[in-house]
Structure 1
Amino acid sequence: MTTSASGSLWHKITSRFSRQGATSSGPRKIPRDQHGISRKQISDSALKVISRLNSAGYEAYLVGGGVRDILLEGQPKDFDIATSATPEEVRRQFRNSRIIGRRFKIVHVRFGHEVIEVTTFRAHHEQQDAAPSKNAAARNASGMLLRDNVFGDIDDDAARRDLTINALYYSSKDFCVYDFVGGVEDLKNRVIRVIGNPETRYREDPVRMLRVVRFAAKLNFDIEPGTEAPLKKLAPLLQDIAPARMFDEVIKLLMNGRGLQTYALLRRYDLFNPLFPATQKLLDQNLPNAENFIQQGLANTDARIAEDKPVTPAFLYAILLWPAVKELLAQLIAEGEPEIPALHQAAERVLHRQQQSIAIPKRFSLPMRDIWELQLRLNRRQGKRAEQLLEHRYFRAGFDFLLLREQVGEVEAGLGQWWQAFQESHPDARNAMARHIRQPSNNDKRRPRRRRRGPRPQNS
């Protein structure tokens, strides 16, 4: 996505409104000839949802990232709709839809592989008495919202959104953009700003702190000082977020093509620690290569995303947890555990602790273990082992992980080059390559066994 808008576009949008803020008299209404958004840039499915809701008598607007990204002259990946219809009313309009979520009910309308997310206008919780159902909103002792289903009108909804740049609404009825909270001005000035009091909004939902960092990195925007100020103090509130929710949030943070920049901001504002406490502990101890390894891994991931190559969460999490696994592996081997069982124990312990912060599904945690185990097996190239490893279902991921470790000096130089040549060679040549690998000497073989028997006598 282009992160800077053309001068002519911004002149059209802001020349008329640059000195005005959103007021109680209503939003800024930016007509078609001043904002540059075309229906051709909007998903046909999103337009169908808006049209049907409008025809049924409801208000409906394209909102959030779909509007923001088009104004920034990019192409949105998702199109979200905000409407006056309740979730149940939206559900009745679309057979191809379902209501999801308890804390924050939304409707997913599916068109083939495309999903349009539809949310009902939210209101302030002071209006709960007028809400359509009992217990529509609830908070815990720290102020975090446990339920958030108080409905209102579009003015209320704009005030309840997280960031000003995500509170822009496009109407396909009059083709205007509606700006209630100064989002256009913040887009122009390249600023991330929370709507309302930042500390209150972060306490309502601590994940908003991650969204601030994510959009600042993704768009290369500055964080407004008031929005920035409470981040470090309130970072520990992320420990209260359900681990299952945190898994998805980390994917959004670090797999958007700006993972390295996002990581730097997470570290700056102490937001990395509640996500990966074991890794943070080692970073604080200046463990050799740990920082370089994570940074290089994220840089490589960003490069793959830029080239439109596939990236799996398993590989990303394998990078972020490897420093902790490697450190515990070394401790267990020093205590006499054989290498492979030691790795299995290290992986089990690290993942068990990590699940308390971020719930990593087995479909990703199992491949992670294989990637880590391959790091030991890729050193063993004698005989038929090398040929057999090529058939491993996660060989390519393990090989890429090995290259990353070699980049930061964690393994001997040339090992990755050997495996690259081995993959590209004819089977006969592979046999010759494997035969020329130096076999471990007898002393090499005996040393691990001697250590496993226990410590040497004091007089040895």
Structure 2
Amino acid sequence: MLKRYKKDHDGSNVPVADIYFAKEHGIDSRNIDLDAVWAVRKLKQSGAEAYVVGGAVRDLLLGRKPKDFDISTSASPRQVQKIFWNARIIGKRFKLVHLVFKDKILEVSTFRSGEDGIEEGSSIYGNVEQDAKRRDFTINSLYYDPTDGQLLDFNNAMADFKKKRVRSILPLPASFSEDPVRMIRAVKYSVTTGFPLQFDVKRAIKKSANELARVSSSRLTEEVSKILSSGDSAKIIAELHRYKLLVYLLPCVSVFSRLHEVYASLQVLDEQIRVLKETDEAVDEGMKGQMLVALVKPIMSVSPTELTPEESFKEIFGQVKTLISPLTPPNYDVEHAAVIILEEAGTAVPKNCLRARRPVRQPGKPGFRAKQQKHGETPRKGKKVTATVAAAPVKSGPSSTSNKKRRRRKPKAATNAIHVKPELPATDD
């Protein structure tokens, strides 16, 4: 192990990080995404610092193959965009860059500093040491260079790995007040790694739990989606309930009198997710509807009614939306969940009830690279990109998008439609 130094104000060398080599940290290079290695190498060749960071490094140290790879660099978003033809800048206050490939997206962020950084627009950027000090927990604060196998540790994180503990970098409970979502992540990391939470983390969660009430529904939705696709959702949901956090994520689920039925349903889902991960298969879009079903079906009471299939579909759709509130997943996923519930109940499913997903224009699609090269490395800011995929030949004759009115069919009466009501929690008289 080596030390990384920096110059102090008086010119003396001060150690700031431990440097571990491949034989010391034991990361298996076969678990590293080749596109992530390519991206880091390309950034370094341009003169920037670049590392794989966050959960990917955590999983690599645990001997797992990460699902997602995030990269952190000294290059600004605009510089990253100039380096990669498939780069797309997102975000407003703190800009990120997505490197879009055919089957994945690599997220590239610039080193961030709370104060003494370089300002570009409305965002503040700093160096790798400052970036490491802003991370939430030590196990997520390691910086790995896949091109030379070196691992940088600015927060004594490797000691926490050896002691198997989840420790906060920032002072508590101020860290949770700054970003309440960190409480959810602390519980999730504890379950997925098997590392217990430190006492100060537990105490801060209990003290700051009500801070989750001010978190936006979109962020809560994102966190719950990650939990449901983790393969450990049953344990994580149970722990969130124990720490009194679940009531802010899924209030209808948290007050259910037979919560053990929800856990059992999620355990079945977890087994399906783990099978997919073991076979290196991605969780497809259809699974997201199944995830919602696993979460809400145990708290739904299904009974026969005289409703038509269309009316039953709308009824279930509305009930699912209510039961997962304040979460706001895409309507397509909620619709798919409603279809699954109808099918499992043995009732008729209305035709064309699933709306088509809006296609995402990705730089990884055919035709994008040729267009980028035609206009330079990437379209400049302010220029409209009219298409990112190869255009299909236009057929002569009447337009296929003419405004013709469709005749609506009258719904047929359903003999086996269902009516859904959420079960209420048991109350004391």
* Same structural fold, with TM-score higher than 0.5 when normalized by the shorter chain: yes
The alpha-carbon deviation at position 25 of structure 1 amounts to 2.4
CA distance in 1, matches of 2:208, 2:74: 33
The alpha-carbon deviation at position 87 of structure 1 amounts to 1.1
Match of 2:327 in 1: 358
Q: If each structure's helix is expressed as a fraction of its own residues, which one has the higher value?
A: 1
Establish whether residue 119 from structure 1 lines up as the match of residue 117 from structure 2: no
Match of 1:63 in 2: 53
Which one of the candidate residues 28, 35, 47 is aligned to 1:45?
Answer: 35
Match of 1:145 in 2: none
* Aligned length in residues: 338
Of 316-325 and 362-371, more deviation after overlay is shown by 316-325
Asked if the contact 2:53/2:72 (under 8 Å) is kept, the reply is yes
CA distance in 1, matches of 2:275, 2:149: 35
Q: Secondary structure at the match of 1:307?
A: helix
Match of 1:412 in 2: none
% of aligned pairs identical? 30
User: Quick one: which amino acid aligns to residue 132 of structure 1?
Assistant: E
Asked if the contact 1:46/1:116 (under 8 Å) is kept, the reply is yes
Closer/same/farther in 2, CA of residues 221 and 374 from structure 1, 3 Å limit: same
Ranges in structure 1 where 5+ consecutive residues have no aligned partner: 1-12, 18-22, 137-148, 379-387, 395-444, 446-460
CA distance in 2, matches of 1:62, 1:133: 23
Match of 1:107 in 2: 97
Establish whether residue 194 from structure 1 lines up as the match of residue 168 from structure 2: yes
Establish whether residue 322 from structure 1 lines up as the match of residue 291 from structure 2: no
Match of 1:79 in 2: 69
Q: If each structure's strand is expressed as a fraction of its own residues, which one has the higher value?
A: 2
Closer/same/farther in 2, CA of residues 271 and 104 from structure 1, 3 Å limit: farther
User: Quick one: which amino acid aligns to residue 328 of structure 2?
Assistant: A
Asked if the contact 1:243/1:355 (under 8 Å) is kept, the reply is no
Match of 1:442 in 2: none
User: Quick one: which amino acid aligns to residue 196 of structure 1?
Assistant: L
Which one of the candidate residues 321, 327, 340 is aligned to 1:371?
Answer: 340
Kindly name which structure, 1 or 2, has the bigger radius of gyration based on alpha carbons.
1
User: Quick one: which amino acid aligns to residue 263 of structure 2?
Assistant: Q
CA distance in 2, matches of 1:167, 1:104: 19
Asked if the contact 1:272/1:280 (under 8 Å) is kept, the reply is yes
Q: Taking structure 2 as the reference length, what is the TM-score of the superposition?
A: 0.70
Q: Taking structure 1 as the reference length, what is the TM-score of the superposition?
A: 0.66
Q: Secondary structure at the match of 2:99?
A: strand
The alpha-carbon deviation at position 252 of structure 1 amounts to 0.8
Tell me: higher relative CO, structure 1 or 2? Use CA pairs within 8 A at least 6 residues apart.
Answer: 2
User: Quick one: which amino acid aligns to residue 67 of structure 2?
Assistant: K
Ranges in structure 2 where 5+ consecutive residues have no aligned partner: 4-12, 355-414, 416-429
Asked if the contact 2:269/2:294 (under 8 Å) is kept, the reply is no
Closer/same/farther in 2, CA of residues 189 and 109 from structure 1, 3 Å limit: same
Match of 1:298 in 2: 266
Which one of the candidate residues 219, 225, 231 is aligned to 2:193?
Answer: 219
CA distance in 1, matches of 2:34, 2:306: 59
Match of 2:378 in 1: none
Question: C-alpha deviations, 1:330-349, integer Å up to 9, x for none?
Answer: 7xx9xxx8577996676455
Match of 2:275 in 1: 307
Calculate the aligned-residue CA RMSD, in Å: 3.2
The alpha-carbon deviation at position 111 of structure 1 amounts to 3.0
Question: C-alpha deviations, 1:280-337, integer Å up to 9, x for none?
Answer: 23x2xx2xxx3232111111011112222867121222232335542xx77xx9xxx8
The alpha-carbon deviation at position 63 of structure 1 amounts to 1.6
Alignment of 1:4-403 (within 5 A): 25-37=15-27, 39-124=29-114, 126-127=115-116, 130-133=117-120, 136=122, 149-172=123-146, 174-281=148-255, 283=256, 286=257, 290-308=258-276, 312-326=287-301, 347=316, 350-353=319-322, 356-374=325-343, 376-377=345-346
Question: C-alpha deviations, 1:193-232, integer Å up to 9, x for none?
Answer: 1211132221222211111111111111111111221213
Match of 2:380 in 1: none
Closer/same/farther in 2, CA of residues 218 and 103 from structure 1, 3 Å limit: farther
Q: Secondary structure at the match of 2:231?
A: coil
Asked if the contact 1:257/1:301 (under 8 Å) is kept, the reply is yes
CA distance in 1, matches of 2:261, 2:299: 12
User: Quick one: which amino acid aligns to residue 35 of structure 1?
Assistant: H
CA distance in 1, matches of 2:166, 2:120: 34
Asked if the contact 2:56/2:70 (under 8 Å) is kept, the reply is yes
Question: C-alpha deviations, 1:221-247, integer Å up to 9, x for none?
Answer: 111111221213322322322222322
CA distance in 2, matches of 1:199, 1:100: 30
Q: Secondary structure at the match of 1:26?
A: strand
Q: Secondary structure at the match of 1:27?
A: strand
